[in-house]
Structure formats: C-alpha cells, structure tokens
C-alpha cells in the first residue's frame, strides 16, 4: 500500500476552515491535481469530528454529477489524521467571484447560469437522499474558462428520509445564519 506522503506530492495549503484545512496536491496514481481536506489536529481525539468528516465523504461519494465536487477517496495520513481526496477545480468560490464583481453584484446571465447549475447539483444530491444544509457562496466553486459551478463542502449534509429532515431530530439549527432557508429560521423541517 502506498503511503499518503508517497502518493500525494507538492502539497500546499489553499484554504483553512474551522473544522479542516484544504490542500492542493499532485496525486501520483493517476497523475492529476487533487484537493485534500484534512481534519484539524485539534479534533484528532474528537469522535464527533471524526464521524462528521467520514460521514461527509460517505454522503458525497454517492452523488455523481457534473455540478457536485467529486470525492475520489478517503483515508488517514501516517499520523492517523483522516482526509478526503476530491477533484481539484481551477477557479474560485462564488464568494470570491462576487467580491470582484462591480458593486458585488453578478450579471443576470451569470446568476442564471450559476443557479441553474447549483440547482442541478442539488437535485442530484436529493435524488441520492443527501441534503446539503449549508448552501452559501463560499461552498459554490466556479471553474475558470468553462464557467462550471459545483457544489462543495457537504460537511453539514444529512440523509433525507421521506423527503425532509425534522429539525427536532437535531440539537440545534445547522447552517450559516445568513443563508438559512426561511422555514428553518421559523422552526420548520429541512426539505
């Protein structure tokens, strides 16, 4: 078996989150650029955090769609830190793109293209029984060139059962406050 450090080379941190860091690396089998999300070391002994990262990978790997970031594999580093390997996408988040736009506003045609593609990715996720629960500009990736939008970061995703998830089955509201669906802020179910 090839070790993490032998298989993935040229590792460079590209994003830092509260739960895990994302690195760009070169996969040597096959040769391709990849994104690797590694759980932060402070969560190494946190069973809940370990479960959440593994569950993210398990949920996302079932969704195979051009508008959802593809999970390629999961594993553990030599030090035991769990990781998820995903396709690498040259581009930026919708949040970064929006910040570069005039007055922070997208053009109508950009908005329609992005919403249509993200909607297609969500439809595919829902068809596999996966509910994202944290859709926001920072979790939408836009590729350079062909302008493909992909939904990423299924870290707060959950399994759909019967078309919705009862909020009562969770300890608290999940998601980013500024992007929650109105029904969630009013105590309704995730749909």
Active-site residue list: 134
Report the alpha-carbon distance of residue 98 to residue 104 in Å, rounded: 5
- The number of CA neighbours under 13 Å toward the Cβ of 181 is 14
Burial of residue 126, with CB atoms counted within 10 A of its CB: 0-12 exposed, 13-18 middle, 19 or more buried: middle
Report the alpha-carbon distance of residue 143 to residue 141 in Å, rounded: 7
Query: Which helix (DSSP H) or strand (DSSP E) does residue 26 occupy?
Result: strand 20-28
3-state secondary structure of 53: helix
Contact 133, 153 (CB under 8 A): no
User: What is the per-residue DSSP string for 129-173?
Assistant: TEE-----GGGEEEETTT--EEE---TT-EE-BTTBB-GGGSSS-
Report the alpha-carbon distance of residue 125 to residue 119 in Å, rounded: 10
């Amino acid at each position: 078996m090839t070790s993490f450090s032998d298989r993935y080379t040229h590792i460079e941190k590209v994003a830092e989150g509260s739960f895990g860091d994302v690195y760009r690396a070169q996969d040597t089998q096959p040769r391709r650029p990849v994104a690797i999300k590694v759980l932060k070391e402070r969560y190494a002994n946190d069973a809940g955090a370990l479960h959440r990262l593994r569950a993210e990978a398990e949920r996302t790997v079932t969704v195979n769609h051009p508008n959802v970031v593809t999970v390629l594999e999961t594993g553990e580093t030599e030090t035991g830190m769990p990781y998820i390997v995903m396709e690498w996408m040259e581009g930026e988040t919708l949040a970064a793109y929006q910040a570069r736009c005039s007055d922070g506003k997208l053009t109508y045609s950009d908005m329609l293209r992005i919403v249509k593609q993200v909607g297609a990715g969500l439809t595919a996720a829902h068809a596999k029984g996966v509910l994202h629960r944290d859709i926001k500009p920072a979790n939408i990736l836009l590729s350079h060139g062909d302008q493909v939008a992909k939904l990423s970061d299924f870290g707060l995703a959950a399994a759909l059962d019967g078309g919705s998830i009862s909020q009562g089955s969770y300890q608290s509201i999940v998601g980013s406050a500024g992007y929650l669906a109105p029904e969630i802020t009013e105590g309704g179910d995730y749909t």
